[in-house]
């Protein structure tokens, strides 16, 4: 009757093994990132958290923009600038067929930032000022944002845990939470690796994505545990078998839900604004891992030897 027939009882150890490998890889990423990188943090914190200045602006070009190397631009910028220190740690990229300039520097005042843009204009101008996107975040605010995100995460994890433990008995609640932390840890680990390998930075939207993943993952696990409880009420003798039947019954639903949530996220990745790109990626990863953990990992804990 049901097209899905996964033998969880037999493959329980494979599931545990797979999750352990993922956790281990994440742990290695986090440790490597903490000790062997220039930033020495478990994850590569972006300017939201450490302060800085980010600038994106398009060039006005007829047909095709002239090619110019970023190093040359930086060199010219140094010549034009009086305050040399502001150009330490500058990162300059030229994208989209040489038409888009993006610059990252440590914290600058508005005036210094304007001077920088004026100098860029002198070198690769004219610039399209209507497309300018500039963010300046002071180091003080960055620290505040970091603690703010950390507290939001902790408080909402606590609130979700509380809800789950009221809603289920202790055993179920405990396993649902393990599955949840498993998901968050792996997504965090993936971004640690991304930070190490591709210098991808995380900003406050990453913290938001972790929170959303938490809600989603718990929701998924709750649905499956609900099903298991319901079926166990009818048939308590074949305990392991009933659990296996329950997950196979829920399989379609979990798969479909993941797909219907992933579709809008994929459209965001493809069409959406660049500022939402990594946010959508992290949400998609979280949903994939969350679905896996709620359909396979969490029920595996319930199966008795």
Partner 1 sequence: MKRKQGWLFFIIFLLTFSIYLLINFPLQLGLDLKGGSQLTLQLVKEEGKVTKEELEAVNSVLDKRVNNLGVAESNLQTLGRDQLILELPGEQNPLSASRILGKTALLEFRTQKVSTSSELKNLQLQRFKISELIDRFNNGDKRNDLYSLVIDNLSEIENDIKYTSNKKELFDKLVDTKKYISNEIVNLFNKTDLSGKDLINAGRRQEQTNSNWEVSLSFSNEGGQKFADITKSIAGTDQLLSIVLDGESISEASVGSQFINTGITGGLATISGNFSAENARELEVQLKGGSLPLPIEIVETNTIGPLLGSKNIVKSLYAAICGLIFVGIFMIFNYRILGFVSVISLIFYGFFNLALYSLIPVTLTLPGIAGLILSIGMAVDANVLIFERIREELINGNTLIRSIDSGFLRANSSIIDGHITTFVSCLVLFILGTNFVKGFAATLGIGVVISLFTSLNCSKTILRFLTTYQSLRQKNLYLSRSNPL
CB of 48 to partner 1, least distance (A): 9
Nearer to partner 1, 21 or 110 (CB): 110
Structure tokens at 14: 């494979």
Distance CA 280, CA 286 (A): 10
Distance CA 73, CA 81 (A): 12
By beta-carbon proximity to partner 1, the closer residue of 41 and 135 is: 135
CB atoms within 10 A of CB 139: 14
> Closest separation between CB of residue 94 and partner 1, Å?
17
Among residues 17 and 215, whose Cβ is nearest to partner 1? 215
**What is the SS3 assignment for 57?**
strand
In whole angstroms, the minimum distance from the beta carbon of 139 to partner 1 comes to 9
Longest dimension (CA), the chain: 81
Q: What are phi and psi of 174, to 5 degrees?
A: -60, -45
CA atoms of 31 and 194, how far apart (whole Å) = 13
Peptide bond into 126 cis (omega under 30): yes
Question: In the complex, what is the shortest distance from the CB of residue 2 to partner 1, in angstroms, rounded to a whole number?
Answer: 9
Nearer to partner 1, 99 or 212 (CB): 212
Compare residues 188 and 193 and give the one whose CB is closer to partner 1: 188
Tokens of 34: 């903490």
Q: Which residues have a Cβ under 8 Å from the Cβ of 47 and sit 6 or more positions away?
A: 53, 54, 104, 135, 137, 142, 201, 203
Report the nearest approach of partner 1 to the CB of residue 279 (Å). Answer: 7
The whole-angstrom separation of Cα 43 and Cα 198 is 12
Nearer CB in complex with partner 1: 126/264: 264
Rounded least distance, CB 253 to partner 1, Å:
5
């Amino acid at each position: 009757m049901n097209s899905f027939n996964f033998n969880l009882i037999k493959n329980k150890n494979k599931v545990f093994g797979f999750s352990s490998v993922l956790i281990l890889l994440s742990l290695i990423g986090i440790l490597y990132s903490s000790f062997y990188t220039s930033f020495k943090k478990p994850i590569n914190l972006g300017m939201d958290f450490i302060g800085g200045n980010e600038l994106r602006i398009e060039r006005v070009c007829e047909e095709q923009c002239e090619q110019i190397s970023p190093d040359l631009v930086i060199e010219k910028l140094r010549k034009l600038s009086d305050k040399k220190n502001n150009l330490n740690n500058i990162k300059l990229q030229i994208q989209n067929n040489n038409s888009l300039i993006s610059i990252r520097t440590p914290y600058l005042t508005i005036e210094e930032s304007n001077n920088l843009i004026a100098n860029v204009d002198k070198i690769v101008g004219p610039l399209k000022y209507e497309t300018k996107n500039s963010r300046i975040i002071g180091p003080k605010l960055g620290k505040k944002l970091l603690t703010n995100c950390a507290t939001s995460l902790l408080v909402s994890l606590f609130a979700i845990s509380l809800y789950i433990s009221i809603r289920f008995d202790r055993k179920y609640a405990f396993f649902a939470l393990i599955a949840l932390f498993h998901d968050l840890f792996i997504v965090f680990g993936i971004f640690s690796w991304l930070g190490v390998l591709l210098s991808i930075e995380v900003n406050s939207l990453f913290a938001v994505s972790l929170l959303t993943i938490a809600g989603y993952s718990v929701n998924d696990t709750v649905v499956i545990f609900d099903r298991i409880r319901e079926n166990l009420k009818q048939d308590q003798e074949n305990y392991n078998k009933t659990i296996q039947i329950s997950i196979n019954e829920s399989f379609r639903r979990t798969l479909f839900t993941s797909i219907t949530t992933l579709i809008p996220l994929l459209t965001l990745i493809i069409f959406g604004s660049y500022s939402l790109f990594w946010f959508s990626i992290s949400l998609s990863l979280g949903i994939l891992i969350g679905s896996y953990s709620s359909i396979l990992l969490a029920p595996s804990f319930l199966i008795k030897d």
